[in-house]
Structure 1
Amino acid sequence: MKKTLWMLFICSFLAAGCGKAEDVQKEKAKSQEEGANAKQEGETKEAWWERDPEFYEPQDLPRDLTENEQYLMRMPGEFSGDQYDGQAAVQKLKDLPTDLTAEQYAEAILKLTAEDYHEEVQKLIKFDPAVEASGERPDEEIEEPAMGGVHYAILLDASGSMNAQNKSGTRMEEAKSAIMSFIDVLPKESTVSLRVYGHEGTGSDEDQARSCISTETIYNGGKEPDDIQSALKEVKPAGWTPIGKAIAETRNDIPEDAGSAVIYVVSDGIETCDGDPVKEAKELAAEGVKPIINIIGFQIDNEAQKMLQEVAKAGNGEFTLANSRQDVEKYWQEEYQRLMDAWEEWKNESLKEVHNQQQELLKEAQDLGQSIMDKSQTEFQRAEDLQQALSQEGIQDEYDLTNKVWSILYDRQQKIWRYGYDTGNEKWREAYDGGNKVWREIYDEGNHKWQEYYHKKY
């Protein structure tokens, strides 16, 4: 009986031991399987140095990227710019196998150190070297300068008093001469009208009614001095002085498409036909083209001077007193001087603006190129440090291999540096040449216009 119990105890013990050993064996097999799976998973997962570099895809560029510019669209490395950490970068290098090629080592270094050039490259591609003065030329600033939309209306008093003798002929002869001097300096694009008033009948009471309704446009067209002079030759001093009616009728002489109008009234007396020239001037000045009415009082007395001053004021213009042809011509000379001053001011302001624009563009082009050059040098210095660390850490210690890695990194630096230098200089030169060209054009134009009116004045 004791023997039987002992045998049962031994069998139970052996059975328990056998089960435990089997469990250990299964656990070991499971662990080995999981390790194998983990190893396989690790082998299929791409290491950081094996990933292809990523590139920016710029939009809205005026042209396609060159091969070199596409190369510079590479996204920056992990430790580029202000993110650089030499120790952390060296630590990353310790992940590298010892059997990579020179190209693979160089690429791994760039994944850590490559700088970001894409903004500078895009700005250089979009760089616009155009320089332009924004100031309007004087012909859009003052009354007289050349502009297709300006109409010049001249109203000539042909009343009998204009037949009075003066130093170098009659008042009419001197007025005609002064008018032609003014016509000579008008721009080619100008339109001109010539209206006479009081040119019919006589100064007698019997002819007053006839004379006071007499106002006629004897020329209306482009600047044609010969045609205007021929029209003036036919004008003879005759009757009364309907200034108000002449001003009122002038609205019919201004072309519908005129942008503005300047009216010159040449008279040697007051209104003698019961008209209201002040009222007519005010109404005409309120017309759509808002003409300016300038009055030239030709050998007038105090009463006429006061009345004509009021007419000029109502017409938003100026009154000038003239006692001879020389005085009338002096008036025109003052107009010429205004033009000379305006063109001189336009020239000086425009040259200053062009110079400032040019300097800004030159600095922008230089800064963009220099930024690329500076970044390429920083990138190479850091890459060179990491390349040396490869050897010191024993990751890559073959002499030829080490030199080849260095050469790859150096060639990249030279390629990028050269792009920054050449492209920055190219854009700088475009801005320099373009600015100088515009500067010269403005200088020549301003001087030409100034001299044109200078010679007319003298």
Structure 2
Amino acid sequence: MNSFYVKVVSGLVVFSVAIAGCSTPVSKTEEGVTAEQNKETKKAYATEVEEMLKEGPGKYAGDAYHKENANKELDTLPKNLTGEQAYQKLVELFAEDYQPYVKKLDAFDTTYTVSGDPGDLKTPSGKQLNVMILIDSSGSMAGKVDGFSKMTLAKNAVSRFASSLSTHANVSLRVYGHKGSNADKDKDLSCKSTEVVYPLGKYDQQMFGKALDKFKPTGWTPIALAMKEAANDLSKINGPSENLVYVVSDGIETCGGNPVQVAQELNKSNVKAVVNIIGFDVDNAGQKALQEVAKAGGGEYATVRNDEGLRRYFDTQRMKIWEKWLMWKVRNTRSIIHQFVQKKGELQRLTFSGHGVDKLSSTESRHMKDALSHLEDSGKLSSEEADKVKELITNRADKIDEYRKSRYDSIMELLEENKKKIREIVEKKGKNKMDEYDTN
């Protein structure tokens, strides 16, 4: 019995050795493929859209896509790939570069611009409005028109105009020729006389009225000197401003100055003042001379004969400012709509169907599916594993599509919301300013 046991055991040993001898050895190539497969499965492809959008660009993304070259590279892959291994390889080769679009969407400007700061508008250009009134106090202003002295009518008109200015406007009143008399002996004194009786600032009815009472018609007409001093006043102003100068006079320069040259300097200098001349009951020669002054100052000349004319002139000036605000409102409303259309178009180019992110995603899915078909046809993976890849490709496309739609909707919501807010600001500001200058 012991002899039989030994023989059986010996036979088993021999049989085991024989089996071992008949085993198929594992080649180094197959060991390498197995190691590569294990390496592939360890790579983690993105499952969330934020990371999916960062996986590209793949080797054959965008203009680098070449179907034949891609298929040749796919042919080098081992057989029996898992769905995850195949999908990972497709991502490496065909993932598109979304980052340029992502960055543009992240930095998308949802704000609107208008001319001037809507939070602190002073003039339609957004600048501080400064109105300087220069009034002639020469002896001839004592002359009568419709039973009233020209000086009285001029003061009344200037007072009404100043009171009608916006609360944001600054106004000043300068008188000239108010010292001495219109006699030759006082010419030198009178021709050197010009004085600010109401310093540049907000209109105050009581103080402005007192300023008008400080002078009477007496002397000569140093228009050039008054404008030169007005230029000095304006040069001291800090910050951007819109400067308007109104000169009320019943005659031409009588002190030897050159008002045309000074008006031109006022208009062309840093202060960029517009000089308007109101000729009150002026003869033809005087009108011609004063017209040249207004032209040089970039402004207008107007002849008025009586109180009604003065009223009409200053009412017209108010209406011009009213019209500026109307045009400001219309222009900015149109601009906002134009900006909205442009921004919406830009957003659609980044996200809309057939453009931007959507176009990249469609291209990516098509290339991946073509490559998957090639892998199936070449026997690199089973149909069951191929179905897993299809599901992963579809899931990727769906998540990117959800991202695209979400970004479009959220940015569009902000564009609509901000458009509504800025239009309300423009409408309100324009209406308030137009009401301030309404002459009705």
Q: TM-score, normalised by structure 1?
A: 0.72
The equivalent of 2:345 in structure 1 is 363
User: Is the Cα–Cα contact under 8 Å of residues 361 and 428 in structure 1 kept in the other structure?
Assistant: no
Q: CA deviation at 1:286?
A: 6.4
Whole-angstrom CA distance in 2 between matches of 1:282 and 1:115: 64
Which of 70, 83, 102 pairs up with 1:121?
A: 102
Which of 163, 166, 182 pairs up with 1:184?
A: 163
Letter in 1 for 2:161: F
Whole-angstrom CA distance in 2 between matches of 1:336 and 1:55: 70
The 3-state SS of whatever aligns with 1:294 is: strand
Give deviations 1:12-31, integer Å, cap 9, x for gaps: xxxxxxxxxxxxxxxxxxxx
What pairs up with 1:372-387 in 2 under 5 angstroms? 372-380=357-365, 383=368
Letter in 1 for 2:245: I
Which of 167, 173, 176 pairs up with 2:152?
A: 173
Relative to structure 1, the CA distance from residue 251 to residue 121 in structure 2 (aligned partners, 3 Å threshold; closer, same or farther) is: closer
The equivalent of 2:29 in structure 1 is 39
Q: CA deviation at 1:301?
A: 1.8
The 3-state SS of whatever aligns with 2:174 is: strand
Whole-angstrom CA distance in 2 between matches of 1:391 and 1:344: 70
The equivalent of 1:311 in structure 2 is 293
The 3-state SS of whatever aligns with 1:97 is: coil
Whether 1:411 and 2:395 are equivalent positions in the alignment is yes
Which of 317, 325, 328 pairs up with 1:335?
A: 317
The equivalent of 2:332 in structure 1 is 350
Which of 139, 142, 147 pairs up with 1:163?
A: 142
Give deviations 1:106-149, integer Å, cap 9, x for gaps: 3344445444433322322222222324x569xxxxx997733x
The 3-state SS of whatever aligns with 2:156 is: helix
Q: CA deviation at 1:78?
A: 5.2
Q: Which structure ranks higher in relative contact order (CA pairs < 8 Å, sequence separation ≥ 6)?
A: 2
The equivalent of 2:10 in structure 1 is none
User: Is the Cα–Cα contact under 8 Å of residues 362 and 432 in structure 1 kept in the other structure?
Assistant: no
Which of 72, 88, 102 pairs up with 1:107?
A: 88
Letter in 1 for 2:29: K
What pairs up with 1:122-137 in 2 under 5 angstroms? 122-133=103-114, 135=115
Whole-angstrom CA distance in 2 between matches of 1:257 and 1:93: 79
Letter in 2 for 1:69: E
Root-mean-square deviation over aligned CA pairs: 4.2
The 3-state SS of whatever aligns with 1:217 is: strand
The equivalent of 2:203 in structure 1 is 224
Whole-angstrom CA distance in 2 between matches of 1:431 and 1:237: 61
Which of 231, 238, 243 pairs up with 2:223?
A: 243
Relative to structure 1, the CA distance from residue 200 to residue 110 in structure 2 (aligned partners, 3 Å threshold; closer, same or farther) is: closer
User: Is the Cα–Cα contact under 8 Å of residues 146 and 189 in structure 1 kept in the other structure?
Assistant: no
Whole-angstrom CA distance in 1 between matches of 2:256 and 2:389: 104
User: Is the Cα–Cα contact under 8 Å of residues 55 and 75 in structure 1 kept in the other structure?
Assistant: no
The equivalent of 1:50 in structure 2 is 40
Whole-angstrom CA distance in 1 between matches of 2:371 and 2:430: 61
Whole-angstrom CA distance in 2 between matches of 1:402 and 1:151: 78
Whole-angstrom CA distance in 1 between matches of 2:268 and 2:339: 41
Relative to structure 1, the CA distance from residue 330 to residue 53 in structure 2 (aligned partners, 3 Å threshold; closer, same or farther) is: farther
Q: CA deviation at 1:298?
A: 0.7
Q: CA deviation at 1:309?
A: 2.6
Relative to structure 1, the CA distance from residue 380 to residue 185 in structure 2 (aligned partners, 3 Å threshold; closer, same or farther) is: same
The equivalent of 1:257 in structure 2 is 237
User: Is the Cα–Cα contact under 8 Å of residues 217 and 253 in structure 1 kept in the other structure?
Assistant: no
Structure 1 portions without partners, runs of 5+ = 1-34, 57-65, 138-142
What pairs up with 1:14-29 in 2 under 5 angstroms? none
